[in-house]
Structure 1
């Protein structure tokens, strides 16, 4: 039986969460926090530097939307006639989409649903997991009250009916974000490089090679870390936002009529005149808000305050100035609809603006890439994704990570997408479905968190979430009409990723059930040791176990075949918590079980990577004499056999076995020196 796989998929990941040892004290956990009450992760002295870096990472995606959003409305596959009513109507839709979806929904509300400073759909799902697993865990001494002393309301009955559905909603939303992470770099860079065609048609043959070269360079730079990249990209994005705001404002001031588009009356009139065609075009309008979900997912990299400051002070005003400017140009000359963004640029500045746009779209891709890194790390710790190599790239800011395997897979997918679609207009058909569907799922999960975790009443939560869902549903419906234009790719990719995640989760649950069935109560095992008094050899042996109360199967196999034990035997269980970070002092609990046996239960947040050498140091500080140079680690390596034991389909069992074989080595993942490891193999039938 494999303790290697078991240790990497803690109880929380398998869906069969085991309780700590009966003698274990309550584990300190993240206290209940009302929305908006979370303390800032970063100090005030780092607010402005982080706000600048956030411009280069968080807002790259939404900040470069002016390159293609208006263009797709009037020159895409479902283009509108370029009339004053349509121009002002589209501008009104853009303004209210940015105001309601990004400013109100994400910046003001969704970002308050942070999990110890972390954002993203998995962090939101973890809040619910924490609250639905035998009730929300509380800080010691909190009893059944909030920090303010008021009684904490019981979960609403309506929430419990959807409890089983919520993990699937979260997993599908995460899978859609992976699809968005593939499309965003491709469409952003391709749309910028296509600006060369505005200057000269002779540049057309070079658009694809330049795009691919830029994408490859971007992914090769990821190993330097998000914050370091952000420090380089941030000043460039300041120039970018200043440039697009200036160009847009100059054009808008020449035709002040466009400022009337701020009135929602023009949006209403737009739909009255265009009917179904207006709804189809709404699928292009959504391109102006496609970075909203990445904004929430990247919150752990920089913190909520820097992200909010950047949006309100720089990004939102600059975007609206540029969109209004593009509308003003179209009012003056409808023939410019083939690329209204570059129509704003004076001809002598066209080539520099193409270069700046290309750099800006490289930066735009960073928002989704870093978001995918965070999403993957959360998925690994929550048990939805197999182990992968994670590199922490900053000693100062938590959450700065790089995943080489994910990085190269994204690069291959992006380059393949560019070669397959070849034009940004064709890619626009595939863009939008992923992000709008994820936005809708985020709204549903936010409602569940508000009712269950924060104790909001229905009259408080329903109107707010109904407003969010009204926009989400409208944008998603419009994008579903683009399925045949390329949206099928996004849905197919998300469906494939969702199947992988669910297969890994269910496979781990089935494997954990087999381990539990084959396990022996530790009391029974210890009684046998007392009776037989086996030979004890010097040193310490550590057996990793998924169950913090039972007997590790590698220990049973070792004792059965060798009939010896080390003088000190440690049973180590690593559990993933539903909070992103567990403080170092609260990370390890050690129990003396007698006869030289000790049980160590280590708890890590879903944004942390377990490190066994650190646990050895913590154990020594708690009175358990352990040294790496005299400790032997016993881990299991199972060979999975496809049987007919559980309800999983045969093809899913085969897929799980393939994923398990290719998961990153547990010894390396947990930082155990290879020379201190003994693997015990076994065959397990699923």
Structure 2
């Protein structure tokens, strides 16, 4: 949707819902047996909607507290009464929507918390990019022909891929771009606002690419906007360096061990960034790095 950032159609999820519905029908065999599950699902949904309504009118619309409580309190009591009465059917099939909801909630919160821990770990070890380049060029490594594009989640920090490239290959390209892709809560970003670049000296640039939630990220196409601004890129001599992070669970970390292992598996199965950013397959170099959470 161009108007609502949360309205996203994902075919895989829709087919997954279809399979789950067929499985539920086969398990319960009749609509009568599904009545308990349906009752708990509907009444719990009503209760959650009432609670969220309170947060919207209180913290989103900034209405007075007494008015928010008065507006939602009556409906909360009614919805709670309906939900608790349906709990009597918990063992007659009412457990099914609670189980599904609990599983999905656990996955979502594990992913959210895991991403937060990853960000904290990366920030703790992050190096300042301008200071790092200044130190590198005191005794510069061998410069090789071509352009290197380093994808980084946080602008102004040194990508792990650059560190590994210098450590193992001991070379630096003639031109080096440190690219951060930003997604904004607007449907479209005008082409004139797509690219922001900052020269770092020694033929290095910090680049930020801006996209709306309806734009399709295409990094190679966006970087062509740098032509005529001191950086001439040729597709045949451009390499894209990505950090392939491997999550390692640790004892005493930010989550329970089983949740850390679950997040590590979810992160491993996540879609590759190269495909999402439309990077050419024959020009992508992934350098692994280990992150402990």
Alignment TM-score, normalising by the size of structure 2? 0.85
Bigger RCO of structures 1 and 2 (CA < 8 A, at least 6 apart): 1
**Contact residue 197 and residue 207 of structure 2 kept, 8 A:** yes
**Cα deviation digits, residues 205-257 of structure 1 (max 9, x gap):** xxxxxxxxxxxxxxxxxxxxxxxxxxxxxxxxxxxxxxxxxxxxxxxxxxxxx
Offset at residue 678 of structure 1 (A) = 0.4
**Contact residue 503 and residue 652 of structure 1 kept, 8 A:** yes
Aligned to 1:403: 11
Cα distance in structure 2, aligned partners of 1:588 and 1:470: 52
**Contact residue 43 and residue 82 of structure 2 kept, 8 A:** yes
Aligned to 2:21: 414
Cα distance in structure 1, aligned partners of 2:113 and 2:84: 32
**Cα deviation digits, residues 506-530 of structure 1 (max 9, x gap):** 2222222222222221132111232
Partner SS for 1:559: helix
Closer, same or farther in 2 for the Cα pair 1:425/1:632, shift >3 Å? same
Offset at residue 554 of structure 1 (A) = 0.8
Offset at residue 661 of structure 1 (A) = 1.6
Partner SS for 2:34: helix
**Cα deviation digits, residues 83-113 of structure 1 (max 9, x gap):** xxxxxxxxxxxxxxxxxxxxxxxxxxxxxxx
Aligned to 2:80: 473
Asked if 1:543 corresponds to 2:150, the answer is yes
Unaligned runs of 5+ in 2: none
Whose strand fraction is larger, Structure 1's or Structure 2's?
2
Aligned to 1:430: 37
Partner SS for 1:528: helix
Instruction: Identify the match of residue 141 of structure 2 among 530, 534, 547.
Output: 534
Structure with larger Rg = 1
Asked if 1:559 corresponds to 2:140, the answer is no
Offset at residue 607 of structure 1 (A) = 6.3
Cα distance in structure 2, aligned partners of 1:527 and 1:570: 15
Aligned to 2:4: 118
Instruction: Identify the match of residue 187 of structure 2 among 572, 576, 581.
Output: 581
Closer, same or farther in 2 for the Cα pair 1:513/1:117, shift >3 Å? same
Closer, same or farther in 2 for the Cα pair 1:530/1:652, shift >3 Å? same
Aligned to 2:239: 632
Aligned to 1:664: 271
Cα distance in structure 1, aligned partners of 2:16 and 2:101: 15
Cα distance in structure 1, aligned partners of 2:79 and 2:221: 45
**Contact residue 636 and residue 681 of structure 1 kept, 8 A:** yes
Aligned to 1:680: 287
Asked if 1:496 corresponds to 2:103, the answer is yes
Asked if 1:440 corresponds to 2:47, the answer is yes
Q: Structure 2 matches for 1:218-237, cutoff 5 A?
A: none
Whose helix fraction is larger, Structure 1's or Structure 2's?
1
Aligned to 1:524: 131
Offset at residue 602 of structure 1 (A) = 3.2
**Cα deviation digits, residues 151-174 of structure 1 (max 9, x gap):** xxxxxxxxxxxxxxxxxxxxxxxx
Q: Structure 2 matches for 1:640-655, cutoff 5 A?
A: 640-644=247-251, 646-655=253-262
**Cα deviation digits, residues 272-293 of structure 1 (max 9, x gap):** xxxxxxxxxxxxxxxxxxxxxx
Cα distance in structure 2, aligned partners of 1:597 and 1:667: 22
Cα distance in structure 2, aligned partners of 1:428 and 1:547: 50
Asked if 1:594 corresponds to 2:201, the answer is yes
Aligned to 1:611: 218
Q: Structure 2 matches for 1:184-583, cutoff 5 A?
A: 300=7, 374=8, 401-404=9-12, 406-466=13-73, 468-577=75-184, 579=185, 581-583=187-189
Closer, same or farther in 2 for the Cα pair 1:484/1:540, shift >3 Å? same
Cα distance in structure 2, aligned partners of 1:607 and 1:652: 33
**Contact residue 636 and residue 680 of structure 1 kept, 8 A:** yes
**Contact residue 244 and residue 287 of structure 2 kept, 8 A:** yes
Partner SS for 2:32: helix
> RMSD value over aligned CA atoms?
2.9
Cα distance in structure 1, aligned partners of 2:49 and 2:274: 36
Closer, same or farther in 2 for the Cα pair 1:490/1:594, shift >3 Å? same
Offset at residue 660 of structure 1 (A) = 1.4
Cα distance in structure 2, aligned partners of 1:532 and 1:408: 56
Divergent runs of 4+, >6 A: none
* Farther-moved stretch of structure 1 (553-562 vs 425-434): 425-434
Cα distance in structure 2, aligned partners of 1:428 and 1:608: 43
Cα distance in structure 2, aligned partners of 1:527 and 1:431: 64
Closer, same or farther in 2 for the Cα pair 1:476/1:581, shift >3 Å? farther
Alignment TM-score, normalising by the size of structure 1? 0.39
Offset at residue 587 of structure 1 (A) = 4.5
**Contact residue 189 and residue 210 of structure 2 kept, 8 A:** no
**Contact residue 588 and residue 603 of structure 1 kept, 8 A:** yes
Closer, same or farther in 2 for the Cα pair 1:461/1:634, shift >3 Å? same
Q: Alignment length, in residue pairs?
A: 292
**Contact residue 525 and residue 551 of structure 1 kept, 8 A:** yes
**Contact residue 3 and residue 187 of structure 2 kept, 8 A:** no
Offset at residue 633 of structure 1 (A) = 0.9
Closer, same or farther in 2 for the Cα pair 1:451/1:619, shift >3 Å? farther
Partner SS for 1:639: strand
